[in-house]
Amino acid sequence: MTLAPPSWQAWAPPLDPPTAGGLPEAEAQAIADAWWDDDPHLCAALQWEAYAARLEQTPAVSMVNTGAQSVAYGAARPGGDFGLAIARAEWHRSFCTGRSVPLVAASRAARVSPGPSWRPVA
């Protein structure tokens, strides 16, 4: 039994139609026509970025000061639907750039014997 390859719509952001305010289907189709066959993750990343460009940006918070105490967080990230769309695009782009999550990198490092030019990454 052979499975059909996934359709680009499965990885796409909300499309308009049927979702009002989503990425127009014609624009998503144009991106898919240009990129899906060569690099599905890049295609999805471009679609999510195009969708995010249509959303209102939510201010990012990296520090909260109540007067009595101050709490600082890591690097500020955009929030709301815009932040979620950008995070999804970055996730898809991570497959294009070769970046991986630390657990995958650690398991690969354990299997690779260091050569003469090997250096640990900080």
100 occurs within a structural domain: yes
Count Cβ atoms within 10 A of the Cβ of residue 47 and give its class: 0-12 exposed, 13-18 middle, 19 or more buried.
buried
> Residue 51 sits in which domain range?
11-58+76-109
Instruction: State both tokens at 56.
Output: 């209102």
How far lies 36's CA from each of 9, 10, 17, 66, in Å? 10, 12, 20, 48
Strand, coil or helix: 74: coil
Instruction: Tell me the average pLDDT across 84-100.
Output: 82
Does 66 map to a domain?
no
Tally of structural domains, the chain:
1
8-51 pLDDT, tens digit per residue, is 999 999 999 888 899 999 999 999 999 999 999 999 999 999 99
What is the C-alpha R_g of the chain? 19
pLDDT bracket for residue 70 (50, 70, 90):
confident
**pLDDT of residue 119 exceeding 60:** no
